[in-house]
Structures are given as C-alpha cells and as structure tokens.
Amino acid sequence: MRRPSRARPGRDGRVMAGAIGIEPGEPLPLGLSETRDGFNLAVFSRNATRLTLLLFEGARGAAAAEIPLDPVRHRTGDLRHARLVGLPRGTAYALRADGPFAPQAGHRFDPRRVLLDPYPAAVETEAD
C-alpha cells in the first residue's frame, strides 16, 4: 500500500498547520464533496497536462500549500481527482492548470492563473 502524499509548502514557504494526506480519490461527483475522513475533489479537464491544488488559510493572500496532482494516480480519463484526508472544513482552495496555449484551438492554459473550482457549492469572499 502506498503512503499518501503530503502537502508541499506554498510559494511563500509556509505549510498549513497539521498534515494533510492526499490519496487518489474518486472521479465522481464533480467538485468538492465531503467524505468520512476528509474531502474528495474531482474536476474535468481533457487538455490540462498538470493540475495543482492550492490551499489557503484565509480567503486572501498567498497559498499556504500547493499540492500537484499526479497525472497518473489522480486521473481517470478526462477527470482529475484527489481525496484530501485531514483537510479542515472551511479551508479555502483554488486550482492552477497547465497545458497548451493555443488560442486557435480554444486552449488558453496559464499555470500562473489561480482558478476557481468550476463546480463549487458556494464561493466565499472577504469584504474590504
């Protein structure tokens, strides 16, 4: 049995408090869904070559952790998925997707862009 991956520090070097395990997860349902020991995340992307999950300690600021999803373990067909064990309820998250930049073919991947989950139950922001 393989040990789950662990969250890597964010761009600012911080790591979220506590260890968050990442396992392959399930391809359905799409979006973030609660499991008995964490959350399952599933997103459709036929053309992404890499997907990274960003975890935040609040709705603003730099990511506290960046978790690259393995292109083999965390993929079923065109669906990327991961089970996040120990992720605290209410943790803010986003995604980064890398892939071809070919506007003529409809592809505009930019790994610098932070993306919202396309299947959220809710989107929360902090007021200025």
> For every residue of 75-120, which 3-state class applies, written as one string?
EECCEEEEEEECCCCCCEEEEEEECCEEHHHCEECCCCCCECCCCC
**What is the predicted pLDDT for the residue at 2?**
35
pLDDT tens readout for residues 62-116: 788 899 999 999 999 999 999 999 998 888 899 999 999 999 999 999 999 999 9
**What is the predicted pLDDT for the residue at 127?**
59
More confident residue, 122 or 25: 25
**Listed residue (2, 11, 3, 128) closest to 67, CA to CA:** 11
Q: In order of start, what are the domains of the chain with their CATH numbers?
A: 5-99 (2.60.40.10)
**What is the predicted pLDDT for the residue at 20?**
85
**What is the predicted pLDDT for the residue at 5?**
42
pLDDT tens readout for residues 37-70: 899 999 999 999 999 999 988 666 778 889 999 9
pLDDT tens readout for residues 6-45: 444 444 444 444 578 999 999 999 999 999 989 999 999 9
Tokens standing for residue 41: 């995340």
**What is the predicted pLDDT for the residue at 83?**
96
